[in-house]
Amino acid sequence: MRVAVVGHVEWVVFARVERVPEPGEIVSASEVWEEPAGGGAVAAVQLANLNGSVDFFTSLGDDDLGRRAKERLAELGVTVHAMDAGLPQRRALTYVDATGERTITVLGPKLRPSGEDGSLPWEQLGRCDAVYFTGGDVAAVRAARRAKVFVATSRELETLHRAGEQLDALIGSGEDPGERPDAIVLDPRPRLVVTTAGALGGWIRPGGPFRAAPIPGPVEDAYGCGDCFAAGFTYGLGAGMPVDAAAVLAARCGATVLTSRGPYARQLTAEDAAS
């Protein structure tokens, strides 16, 4: 298949701590590492692992972190199409506590690709079987809608509302106030609305509940679970799977990355999915 992601990247410093500090408290990290991450980057790598290739349309900072992000994502199998944001690369600090929960602070504005930027090959999206959207402008939404299947995160409801394009699926976390899929009513309504609820599974409308997948190992880090779920669901729809089967694949993607140090050490692969 041909799949793509349109979205954002953050350069993330991960710090493993016993617990997130209380106000005024100082804590020591037992481990620190860095990766280009954020919803767009994590979903792109997951799609590369499932599909063997992915095109990623993004905006990167005009600094060393932006260049390092592009190089690292290429190492992970992602074909990066990046416009120059003309700003420093957005960064983030992520605490990972003893239970594996992640707590994130973002530093700087979200760098969204523009569908009006002629340096990116937006016409390629019209030849895609599936596109997942985590950030961009109205023109980027309309370019992505030319794909056979178009899925988006509910974190971008305002832009999706202004674009007025129909989604094949809108995906959001029922446990994150910033991802409420009903915060803005989209017109036309998405064909599917998927709400995740961690270990409880989630709900698809129309349809019904789905179960979380068994976790294939010790819990390491919750960072990227929702992004990998969304990528898996997008892949499943693009491959022509029934909705229930796409949800099963997506849940396996989310469960697998939960056992990973950071978002890339362990993701579901095509070989895993076939077994």
How many domains are there within the chain? 1
pLDDT value of residue 131: 98
Q: Does residue 258 fall inside a structural domain?
A: yes
Rounded mean pLDDT of 146-175? 96
pLDDT value of residue 178: 77
pLDDT value of residue 26: 96
Q: Which tens digits make up the pLDDT trace of 22-52?
A: 999 999 999 999 999 999 999 999 999 999 9
Q: Does residue 199 fall inside a structural domain?
A: yes
Q: Does residue 271 fall inside a structural domain?
A: no
Q: Does residue 30 fall inside a structural domain?
A: yes
Sheet holding 79-84, edge to edge: 79-84, 55-60, 3-6, 130-133, 149-153, 169-173, 193-196, 202-205, 208-210
Rounded mean pLDDT of 147-159? 97
pLDDT value of residue 47: 98
Q: Does residue 250 fall inside a structural domain?
A: yes
HEC secondary structure over the chain:
CCEEEECCCEEEEEEECCCCCCCCCCCCCCEEEEEEEHHHHHHHHHHHHHHCCCEEEEEECCCHHHHHHHHHHHHCCCEEEEEECCCCCCEEEEEECCCCCEEEEEECCCCCCCCCCCCCCHHHHHHCCEEEECCCCHHHHHHHCCCCEEEEEHHHHHHHHHHCCCCCEEEEECCCHHHCCCCCCCCCCCCCEEEECHHHCEEEECCEEECCCCCCCCCCCCCCHHHHHHHHHHHHHHCCCCHHHHHHHHHHHHHHHCCCCCCCCCCCCHHHHHC
pLDDT value of residue 161: 97
- The number of beta carbons lying within 10 Å of the beta carbon of residue 126 is 13
Q: Does residue 275 fall inside a structural domain?
A: no
Q: Does residue 274 fall inside a structural domain?
A: no
pLDDT value of residue 179: 79
Rounded mean pLDDT of 219-245? 97
Is pLDDT of 177 > 80? no
pLDDT value of residue 31: 97
Least trusted range by pLDDT, from 106-115, 152-161, 177-186, 260-269: 177-186
Q: Does residue 159 fall inside a structural domain?
A: yes
Is pLDDT of 181 > 90? no
Residue 47 structural domain: 3-266
What is the C-alpha to C-alpha distance for residues 147 and 155, in angstroms, rounded to an integer? 20
pLDDT value of residue 196: 95
Is pLDDT of 172 > 90? yes
Compute the mean pLDDT over every residue in the chain, rounded to the nearest whole number. Answer: 96
Percent share of the chain, pLDDT over 70: 100
Q: Which tens digits make up the pLDDT trace of 69-88?
A: 999 999 999 999 999 999 99
List Cα–Cα distances, 228 to 50, 117, 180, 204, 234, in angstroms: 10, 27, 18, 17, 10
What is the C-alpha to C-alpha distance for residues 267 and 38, in angstroms, rounded to an integer? 15
Domain of 63, CATH number, reads 3.40.1190.20
Of 52, 41, 36, 51, nearest to 7 (Cα)? 41
What is the C-alpha to C-alpha distance for residues 83 and 90, in angstroms, rounded to an integer? 14
pLDDT value of residue 183: 82
Stated pTM of the model: 0.97
pLDDT value of residue 275: 85
